Amino acid sequence: MNEGIIMESKYVKAICPGSFDPITNGHVDIIERASQLFPEVVVGVLQNPHKKPLFSIEDRVDLIKLAVLHLPNVSVCAFEGLLVDFARKINANLIVKGLRAISDFEIEFQMALNNKRLSPEIETMFMMTRNEYSFLSSSMIKELAQFGGSIQGLVPTEVEKAIHKKFCGMS
Ligand code: PNS
């Protein structure tokens, strides 16, 4: 079956976009899996002037860089404005996102269709989140940590330290 035929994909640079406030192990899992499928992956971190994140854009980028140190084909970059404009700017033609549950589907579907309308040449691909991370979100992590709940195993170690520092002033 297709033995000996080498198929070259036209998707060489993929973007994993998000707010990453902060990055969770669910995000890391999607980035790792994308990095195995595509030669180059750029984690695009949205700087939204209308939102007040817990972590600054610089901190979010630094925490992601630490979390993907083991992935040589992954880089991290902040962006503002439309995702498709950022994709064009860095020459990426694929957006990779994780889907946790049916509840994610509606908004993700809307975003994918809007992005397709704006830039038909850019494809969106969804990966199903691993079962163990299907309940995980950055908002949930912040709430757990704020009220003293354990977040161990749900976020990279550096994120755990940074979030405890924010809420308890300890490292
Ligand atoms: O982690 P998030 O907050 O779910 O990520 C959402 C994100 C950053 C991928 C999305 O809000 C986005 O792409 N924002 C950039 C603005 C944009 O392009 N909007 C049009 C999509 S309809």
Query: Where do the domains of the chain lie?
Result: 13-135
Q: CA-to-CA distance for 57 and 45, rounded, in angstroms?
A: 8
Residue nearest to atom 1 of ligand 1 (CA): 18
* pLDDT tens digit sequence for 4-42: 566 677 879 999 999 999 999 999 999 999 999 999 999
How deeply is 63 buried, as exposed, middle or buried, from its count of CB atoms within 10 A (0-12, 13-18, 19+)?
Answer: buried
Question: Is the CB–ligand 1 distance for residue 18 below 6 Å?
Answer: yes
Q: Is 166 a catalytic residue?
A: no
* pLDDT tens digit sequence for 78-98: 999 999 999 999 999 999 999
The SS3 assignment for 82 reads: coil
Q: What is the pTM of this model?
A: 0.94
Q: Is 27 a catalytic residue?
A: yes
Residue 21 gets the label, from left (phi > 0), alpha (psi -120 to 50) or beta, of beta
Question: Is the CB–ligand 1 distance for residue 83 below 6 Å?
Answer: yes
Q: Is 88 a catalytic residue?
A: no
Q: CA-to-CA distance for 96 and 27, rounded, in angstroms?
A: 11
Comparing 29-33, 68-72, 101-105, 121-125, which segment has the lowest mean pLDDT?
101-105
- Checking if the pLDDT of 169 tops 90, the result is no
Number of the ligand 1 atom closest to the C-alpha atom of 138: 1
Question: Is the CB–ligand 1 distance for residue 82 below 6 Å?
Answer: yes
Question: Is the CB–ligand 1 distance for residue 46 below 6 Å?
Answer: yes
d(CA 108, ligand 1 centre) in Å: 9
* pLDDT tens digit sequence for 121-142: 999 999 999 999 999 999 999 9
The SS3 assignment for 70 reads: coil
Residue nearest to atom 3 of ligand 1 (CA): 19
Q: CA-to-CA distance for 63 and 55, rounded, in angstroms?
A: 10
**Bridge partners of 20?**
none
Average pLDDT score over the chain: 94
| CATH label, 13-135, candidates 3.40.50.2000, 2.40.50.140, 3.40.50.1370, 3.40.50.620 | 3.40.50.620
Q: Per-residue confidence at 1, pLDDT binned at 50, 70, 90?
A: very low
The H-assigned helical ranges of the chain are 25-37, 57-67, 83-89, 102-118, 138-146, 157-168
- Checking if the pLDDT of 53 tops 90, the result is yes
Phi, psi of 128 (to 5 degrees): -75, 130
Whole-number pLDDT of residue 4: 58
Whole-number pLDDT of residue 150: 95
d(CA 48, ligand 1 centre) in Å: 9
Q: Is 117 a catalytic residue?
A: no
Tell me what the mean pLDDT of segment 38-51 comes to.
95
The SS3 assignment for 42 reads: strand
